[in-house]
Each structure stands twice: as C-alpha cells, then as structure tokens.
Amino acid sequence: MDDSFDLIVIGAGSGGLAAAKRAASYGAKVAILEGDRVGGTCVIRGCVPKKLLVYGSAYGHHLADAASYGWTLEGAETPFRCDTALLLAHVRAEVDRLNQLHIGGLQKSGVQLISGWGRFEDPHHLLVTDRSGGSRRLRGERILIAVGGRPQRPSIPGAELGWVSDDLFELTTFPESVVVVGAGYIACEFAGILRGLGVAVTQLVRGDHLLRGFDREASAVVLEGMVAEGIDVRFGQSPAAIEGEPGNLRLKTDSGAVLACGGVLLATGRRPFLEGLNLEAAGVEHASGRIPVDADQCTNVAHLHAVGDVTDRINLTPVAVDEGRAFADSVYGNRPRQVDYSLVASAVFTQPELASVGLGEEEALERYGSEGVTVHRARFRSMAQALPQRGGKVLLKLVVETGSGRILGAHMVGDHSAEIIQMAAIALGMGATKADFDRTMALHPSVAEEFVTMPN
C-alpha cells in the first residue's frame, strides 16, 4: 500500500473535512486521520446535538402556550413531561446518521479515511496508531493540523466528578438538579436546555455578567430571560471543590456555600487539543497552548499548516470551514485567497436566543468615542407572545458610526435571532448605513421589521 500523500489532514472535523475534500477536488492525493467518529466537535458533540436539545427543550413552552391559541391537548399530562431518555436517544441516532454521511462524503470525494491518532516522527512523517494498537507510517508532502479543541476542567478537588459538555450527550437521562459552572455560551445554552427539560439549575458565574465578548446590553437581556425561566444565576462565585458520588454531589464554592445536586457541568472553557501530536518532532511552534499560523494558515514550518480551533482564533465552525477551503484553494487550486475575519456573525442558542454581527456598543465606543457612536434600539413583546403574555421583551439594536451613518453592529435577543442576523450580516458586509436600512420597506407584521423602522 502506498503510504505517501500530497496532503495528510489530522482531524476529521469541520475544517479538516473541508480542506481534504476541496484539495482532492483539485486532484491532490489526500488522506485524513481520525481516531474518533467523523464530523468533529460540531457534528458529534457540539453545535448539532446541542441545537437539537435546544429544540427539544423549547417544546414545553410551545405546549404551554397552545391553550392561549385555542388548542386543547386532550389526555395530555399537566404539567407536560419530556421523556429525556427518548430525546437523548434520538439525538444520538441523528449524530450517528451524520457521521455515516460524512464518511460517505469522503469516499465520494476520493479522500482516504484512516482511523487512528497521528503523531509526528519528523516534519514529513506521521505514525498513526489505531484503537487496536496497530500502527502505520505515513508521509505527507504537506500536513494540515485540524484537531480542534477539548473542554477543560478547573483545577479543583473532585473536578473529575463533574461533567464537561461532551459528557452530556452520552447521558441516558438528566438528574433533577444540576449546577452549571461558567458564564460563556456553553454554560448558558446548557442551563437553558436543562431548565427547559424540567431540571432545577443553579449557575455559578465568577464575574459580574454573562457572555463576555458580546454586547453587554444584549447579554443582560439574555440574563433576564434565563432568570424568568427559573435559572438561579449567582455572580461572583466559583467552585472550590466537588464531593460525593455520581448522582449525589456536593459542590463547595469559594464563598463557603455548599450546593447539593445530581450533577455538575463544568463549562469553564476549551483549549486546543495538542496532546499526543509530538509537535516538537516536526519543529512546529505552539505558544500558549495553541498553534500560531499566518494569514495563509501556515505554521513556522513552510509545509505544515493548521486550521480551526487548534489555532484558537475565532472558534466557530463556518470559520474553520472557510480556513480549510482557503488553504486548499491557495495551495492546490491556483486560487490564492485569505479568510476575512473582519465581520463574523455569531449566535448563542440560549433561551432567549442571542445573535450578533459587528461591534457591540462597548467595543464601538472604545474605537470611535462617545461622540462617534449612535445607538438605536427597539424593545417590545413579540406578536407570538401577545396572547400567551409569556416571556420577556425582545431586543433589536443597531450600533452606528455617527458621522458616516455606517452600521457598525447589529444585535438581537429573541426568537429566530440567528436567522435574522445572518441576513443582516450581508448588509453590514456591503457597508450598509442606517439610511439604507431606513429606505428598506418593512415586512409587516414581523419582528425583523423593527430593524428598518427604528427612529433616528
């Protein structure tokens, strides 16, 4: 068997798959290594299963609201109950389907999938070890590192008793109560999922607000919604230790409080997964636990490249995909291009949902000053909640450069925020101004129309 390739990709996640298939489409001989299932964090233990759980947890609200619209669910239990074991089983079945779909996609594209973990022997050679202990030596003219990231646990006694986000997708059911540790998108999303499925949730936040890096007003509106749903959010508190046994835990905080619960989710960040790669043998620099690359995804070694979360830049699936494709276009397609990171939309699938593109108010003020920024906002109860009279008010917000009228940022908290902001991102990418939005005819009645009817 010929074990030499034009390109070897380490990691079959979003970035690696995109690069491998695009390179193969240009005629390159490509192998991709994966020691786990194909699809990476997003498909296997991230975006996809999480979003399915968000949908599942939201049905309790839909069922509760049905009566206000005249629907009677005969014979239904009150309150409604979710069979979480069945939901989790269905989610895992969908993940398995997608795993097989990605494997088929590699076969169709002519990429050779090699099961196992790759370890550098030198700048051109990898030793691949499979689960049975067998090994295979490969040579790559170029090698792309796309191994992604992994959740990290805090350094506290008993941390091994807690879950990380990966673990939740493998559970067969959820306990009655959970303590969530963290303030980022993973912590806030799972707090909403668990609460929506009937779990009592306490969330510990080390700082004084949620969702660092997002517009502060928008994150405050998310907090309002979370608290209204019964999530007990406690600021200025960190875990000190976890004791007990699975299903019957006690979390001690740094303030001396003791929280009894059925489980602890440690959503305290992720970091690049560099363990086992033996990057030193390849001469690859990896400062601060990540692999630095230039605008062409190149490491300090000319023929070794990296994309996605392992570079720890903007850790989002579409970014990793574009990085992988830009690499392949440039190296194998004679179509040199670089990824534009200047305007990347993002969403947090909390309940309520938050989505954003461009600058938040705080960042805009820092760059342009208070005289250079004008903020327009709309806050109201959506028509979907006019009859149930449940849930908080949505927020739509535009951050505008005062002198030019150019829109610097668009933010929304409420149902379908991600769908709406995705379209707003196109306008911002074209340099849209507040006057451009004002000239746009409103689509009535809709929530999104408020973006084009905000007063000056």
Six-digit token string for 190: 């799972």
- What is the total residue count of the chain? 456
> What confidence tens digit (pLDDT) does each residue in 181-218 have?
999 999 999 999 999 999 999 999 999 999 999 999 99
pLDDT at 79: 64
Q: Name the residue range of residue 68's domain.
A: 4-151+272-332
Structure tokens at 84: 């979480």
- Cα-Cα-Cα-Cα dihedral sign, residues 306, 310, 311, 316: positive
Structure tokens at 426: 């196109």
Would residue 341 count as lying in a domain? no
258/313 same-domain check? no
Residue 128 located in a structural domain: yes
Q: Is 144 found in the same domain as 18? A: yes
Q: Could you give the angle at which helices 47-65 and 185-196 cross, rounded to 10 degrees?
A: 40
Rg (CA), the chain: 24
pLDDT tens column, 350-407:
999 999 999 999 999 999 999 999 999 999 999 999 999 888 899 999 999 999 999 9
Q: For 205-264, how does the pLDDT look when each residue is reduced to its tens digit (9 = 90+)?
A: 999 999 999 999 999 999 999 999 999 999 999 999 999 999 999 999 999 999 999 999
One-letter identity of residue 120: F
Q: Which of 169, 162, 164, 172 is nearest to 54 (CA)?
A: 169
User: For residue 212, is it within any domain?
Assistant: yes
Q: How many domains does the chain have?
A: 3
Does 112 share its domain with 60?
yes
Residue 345 lies in a domain: no
Question: Is the pLDDT confidence value at 1 over 60?
Answer: no
Is 282 in the same domain as 359? Answer: no
CB 104 within 8 A of CB 110: no
Q: Are residues 96 and 120 in the same domain?
A: yes
Q: Which amino acid is at 254?
A: D
At 81, is the pLDDT very low, low, confident or very high (cuts 50, 70, 90)?
A: confident
- Strand extents, DSSP E, 44-151: 112-115, 117-122, 125-129, 135-145, 149-151
On whether both 190 and 261 belong to a single domain, the answer is: yes
Please give the Cα distance from 263 to 261 (Å, whole number): 6
pLDDT category of residue 134 using cuts at 50, 70 and 90: confident
CATH of the domain at 393: 3.30.390.30
Q: 347 lies in a domain?
A: no
pLDDT (average), residues 318-338: 98
- CATH value at residue 298: 3.50.50.60
For residue range 167-183, list pLDDT tens digits in order.
999 999 999 999 999 99
CA distances from 439 to 361, 449, 451, 453 (A): 24, 12, 11, 9
Q: Quote the DSSP letter at residue 339.
A: -
- What letter does residue 111 receive in the DSSP assignment? P
The helix or strand, by DSSP H or E, that contains position 91, with its residue range, turns out to be helix 84-109
* SS3 assignment, position 188: helix
* 214 in any annotated domain: yes
- DSSP, residue by residue, 380-395: E--GGGTTT--S--EE
Q: Does 357 lie in the same domain as 443?
A: yes
The arithmetic mean of pLDDT across residues 134-148, rounded, is 96
**Torsions phi, psi for 420 (to 5 deg):** -75, -45
The model's pTM = 0.95
In a domain, 30, yes or no: yes
pLDDT digits (tens, 9 = 90+) for 28-73: 999 999 999 999 999 999 999 999 999 999 999 899 899 899 988 7
Active site residue 444: yes
Q: Are residues 138 and 11 in the same domain?
A: yes
